Amino acid sequence: MSKEPERGLWGYVNGNLEKIREPKKIEVAAPFVHMDELNPALECMHCGEFFTSKARMLQHYRTNGLEIVAGERPKPIRPPKANFGKIRETVEEQLNAIKYGDAPITEMEKEQCLREERELKAYKMRNWIRH
């Protein structure tokens, strides 16, 4: 009777066959074989030739300088970081421009700014907020 071979990853270390790693837990229900066959046949998007072999199709792509670019995810778009110092500076500049009449605004907008300033002052007085 022959002994069943021990499972695991085996390899030659210094000329001796040794067990390198314990067997991996099988995650699929049944073992399967990756085959070279393409069924149904795939058409080359470049020249229209049909292929029934993955290896021959990839070789065809390589010889024609083509590249497979499927399954790529676009990089997430990150909004640019706000420069709060610059924003504060701009707001102060514009408020000063309005205050000293340098901003091109209408009389109605000027009145609105004055009213908002008065209301802010009143709000601060009511709530004891020091400026």
Residues that bind Zn ion (CB under 5 A): 44, 46-47, 49
CB 53 to Zn ion: min, Å:
14
- Amino acid identity, position 59: Q
End-to-end CA distance of the chain: 96
- For residues 60 and 113, which CB has a smaller minimum distance to Zn ion in the complex? 60
CB 38 to Zn ion: min, Å:
14
DSSP string, 44-63: PTTT--EEEEHHHHHHHHHH
- For residues 39 and 63, which CB has a smaller minimum distance to Zn ion in the complex? 63
CB 45 to Zn ion: min, Å:
8
CB 72 to Zn ion: min, Å:
21
- For residues 36 and 109, which CB has a smaller minimum distance to Zn ion in the complex? 36
Smallest Cα–Cα separation from 55: which of 42, 73, 69?
Answer: 42
**Where is 99: in which H helix or E strand?**
helix 84-99
